A and B are shown apart, each in its own frame.
Chain A
Amino acid sequence: MSEGKKRKDRIGITLYILYRLLVLVSIVVVAKILYLQLFFRPNPQIADALTPPHRCKVLEPARGNILDRDGRILAISSPSYQIYMDCTVMKRHFADAKDPAEGARLEKEWLDKARELSKELARVFPEKNADRYYREIKEGRERGRKYLMLGHPVDKPTCDRIRQFPLFREGQYKGGIIVKQIIERKYPYGSLARRTIGFIRDESSNIVNRDIGLEGKYDAILKGEEGQEWLRKCDYGLVRDFDSTFVQATDGQDIRTTLDIDLQAIADRVLREQIEEEHELEAACFGLMEVKTGALRVMVNLMRDPTSGGRFSEISNMLINRRGEPGSVFKTVTLAALLADGHLRTLEQTIPTNHGIVHGTRIHQDDHITSFERRNHTSVISMYDGFKMSSNYVMATWAINKYGRNPEAFSERINSFGIGQRFDFDIVGLASPFIAGPANRKPFTTTDLGTVAYGYSTLFSPIYTLMFYNAIANKGRVMKPYLVEQVEKDGIVTDRRGPIILRDSIFSPAVADTLTRALRAVTSEGTATVLKNARCVVAGKTGTARIAYDDRHYIDELGRAKNQGSFVGFFPADGEPLYSVICVVYSKLSHRSFYGGTIPARTVKNFIDELERTDPKFRTRL
């Protein structure tokens, strides 16, 4: 056998032995696999820990924005960052150091950095001083607190700055910083139209009323739909598992409202200027509506907030939910009914003055009439004069004379104006109107008819009154007040809302013109002469009503009453009206009377003046 062949055999034998060894190992491996697969029962905790995790992640949709008419953002979801601190980091490490002296030195060094951190924190969150922060961190370290909240939520730049503070710049495991992102709903214009824009209630909140404002009513559209994805672990970390279901989150849509935030700001300011110093006022509201469309451009609702020291805040949407007897602003409805039914041909038609006493009723004597008799040495009064001075006697007498035998006709006519019926509004809380009549009040007396004629025995929220006056400006067409212009997705309109005609013609244009003439008389020579010098011609009516403070009584034992002063009208009244407007103030129990011709009319005048000064579009349209 040659030398080469021997070597070959040696190699072959070596390989053969290696092969057999591998076969033996593979037999052991196969046996072990069979054992593991068939007989081995692992400890469940270890099995869980070693099983690659598959977890379902909920994909949160981005909430849609609320925009004003020009697309400016009124509500947006934006992140804030809350800083927490794990006070215990490195504590065990230092304590377990091989050299105790070295451990103590490191611990002292850590606390020194914490002191520096406290100084920086006190600058960002000045509600506590540096010593207090340091004490909290030190005590937290001693007591093992792993989640010490520091300050309040901050924005991204501040959060980034805090990350660079001493100690925190060493990261979570050495410095103990924990940052939690919170998605907050933010309102760039602060308190402007807050009640109309609304709120999002936390699911954990105890407050039952979640449908506040547009945020509440359109929550389903704004919120979007959650998605879902399954994640699996790979060498790089958690990634989406393509073998499992994946549902993409659908972001919420944007709501474009009819509100004009510039006009809202003006209205808010002029109203506050008028009411802030009036300590006996408890609330006020202001609404502006576009005549042609019914789009609400302004909704200001200010009420004294007991939680903020009695300052005026947007805490209740009184324009839609504060139902009360409207008072004299309702006289226009009576006048419209008389004109529409042909009972009154011209405003110059007269009735006897009768010293302001409506015979056969329990209606109080009208002092305006006795003054009128004295001033003018006359015993008759025209509707024009009676209306502009807001005489209860004139309106009650006309209503009783013309509808006394058939009060149903009066009710039917008023109902035909559409103000007695509730409509579907864009936010929750619209109060239902009530007008006393033979159908809902039995017996319906002559006194009842007379009081309805001048605005008592009826219940309206201001928006109904505004809607009716808007119809006068619109020559008899009743437009539904609305707040949502359209729903948008990434700037593309998905649902267009827009104007809705509630009644096409509740009276003829001639009646509308006569009513406008009467309303202009009020502002030029009647109870709202403060508007005579407004920048444009205003037509409107004042109203001063007493509010039943406990549903029955108007005056308490001290002779105090709650008053409601209103002005409602439209402008410009000498051409094509652009806006209808209402301003209502509500007093506390007081000896003072708050007339519609004072604060509300002044507010409207100031609003118009400022609108004309600052809005070139308005001037051009004038």
Chain B
Amino acid sequence: MGKLARFGKVLLNSFVAIWRGEFLLRLRAGRFLAHILYTFLLFGLIIWVSLLIDTSMNTVEKNEKRIAELRMEQSVLKFDMTRAEGRAAVARRLEKMGSPLQEPEKNATLITR
């Protein structure tokens, strides 16, 4: 019997066994039931961990976006603060608020010992 015929016979027997529902029994897969269950457990774990990674990565992305927004807000606040603390800006604000406080026009009297 040629190799091809033998392979064909094995294929046919396997199909008949599958059709009858005896394939795993003929292979005596029952001996490896624990291993099969373990393998499926690993498959399950892989899927579960992948989902966890996706969830975490999504959180990372959201946080990165938030951090970028906060950095932007910080730069705006820094800019506003710097602009507001300039001497001219302070003088303008004081004047607007009706304060008589101004830059000195005369030197301060220096008291020496």
Residues of A within 8 A of B (CB): 16, 19-20, 23, 62, 72-73, 76-79, 155-156, 181, 186, 188-189, 234-240, 242, 261-262, 265, 535, 612-614, 619
Tell me whether chain B's interface is mostly helix, strand or loop, or mixed: helix
B5 to chain A, nearest CB (A): 23
Give the most central of B57, B85, B108: most A CB within 10 Å: B57
Question: Would you call A188 and B86 a contact (CB within 8 A)?
Answer: yes
B112 CB-CB contact with A under 8 Å: no
Output the nearest chain B residue to A76 by Cβ-Cβ distance.
B79
In chain A, what residue has the closest Cβ to B61? A239
Q: How far is the CB of B79 from chain A (nearest CB, A)?
A: 5
A236 near B73 with CB under 8 A, answer no
Binds A, one of B28-36, B37-45, B99-107: B99-107
Q: Give the residue name and chain of the B residue nearest to A16 (CB).
A: B21
Nearest CB on A from B22, distance (A): 11
In the assembled complex, 22 residue pairs joining A and B whose CB atoms fall closer than 8 Å, in A order, are: A16-B21, A62-B71, A72-B82, A72-B85, A73-B82, A76-B79, A76-B82, A79-B75, A188-B79, A237-B61, A238-B61, A239-B57, A239-B61, A242-B53, A261-B86, A265-B86, A535-B107, A612-B107, A613-B106, A614-B104, A619-B107, A619-B110
Q: Which residues of chain B are within 8 angstroms of A62 by Cβ–Cβ distance?
A: 71
Pairwise interchain contact B72-A78, C-beta atoms closer than 8 A: yes
A189 neighbours in B (Cβ, 8 Å): 82-83, 86
Docked-complex contact B76 and A265, CB < 8 angstroms: no
Provided the pairs A188-B82, A262-B87, A612-B107 are in contact, do residues A234 and B57 lie with their beta carbons within 8 angstroms?
Answer: yes
Quick check: B79 and A613 within 8 Å, CB to CB?
no
B residues near A (Cβ < 8 Å) are 18-19, 21, 53-55, 57-58, 60-61, 71-73, 75-76, 78-79, 82-83, 85-88, 103-108, 110
Q: How many A-B residue contacts, CB cutoff 8 Å? A: 76
Residues of B within 8 A of A619 (CB): 107-108, 110
From residue A230, how far is it (CB to closest CB) to chain B in Å? 12
Return B112 CB to nearest CB of chain A, in Å.
Answer: 12
Specify the chain A residue showing the minimal Cβ separation from B72.
A79
Residue in B58, B79, B103, B104 whose CB lies within 8 Å of A236: B58
Known: A73-B78, A78-B75, A242-B53. 17 other contacts (CB 8 A): A20-B19, A23-B18, A78-B72, A186-B79, A234-B58, A236-B57, A242-B57, A261-B86, A262-B87, A535-B107, A612-B107, A613-B104, A613-B105, A613-B106, A613-B107, A614-B87, A614-B104
Q: How many angstroms between the C-alpha atoms of A240 and B58 in the bound complex? A: 8
Whether B104 lies near A78 (C-beta < 8 A) is no
A613 partner residues in chain B, CB cutoff 8 A: 103-107
Q: Are B21 and A239 closer than 8 Å at their CB atoms?
A: no
> What is the CA–CA distance of A79 and B110 in the complex, to the nearest angstrom?
47
A186–B18 Cα distance when bound, in Å, is: 75
Q: Hey, which chain A residues are within 8 Å of B21, CB to CB?
A: 16, 19
In the bound assembly, the distance between CA atoms of A234 and B51 in angstroms comes to: 9
- B58 near A156 with CB under 8 A, answer no
Shortest Cβ distance from A499 into chain B, in angstroms?
Answer: 27
Which residues of chain A have C-beta atoms less than 8 A from B61's C-beta? 237-240
The answer to whether A76 touches B75, judged by C-beta atoms less than 8 angstroms apart, is yes
Which residue among B53, B76, B103, B105 has the maximum number of chain A CB atoms within 10 Å of its CB?
Answer: B76
The residue of chain B having its C-beta at the shortest distance from the C-beta of A156 within the complex is B76
Q: Is B72's CB under 8 angstroms from A156's CB? A: yes
A-side contacts of B86, CB under 8 Å: 188-189, 261, 265
Q: In the assembly, what is the distance between CA of A19 and CA of B21, in Å? A: 8
Q: Write the chain B residue with the least CB distance to A68.
A: B82
Return the chain B residue nearest A266 by Cβ: B87
In the bound complex, how far is the Cα of B76 from the Cα of A186, in angstroms? 10
Quick one: which of B57, B71, B103, B110 contacts A240, CB cutoff 8 A?
A: B57
Instruction: Assess whether A78 is in contact with B76, with CB atoms less than 8 Å apart.
Output: yes
Residue of B60, B82, B88 touching A265 (CB-CB under 8 A): B88
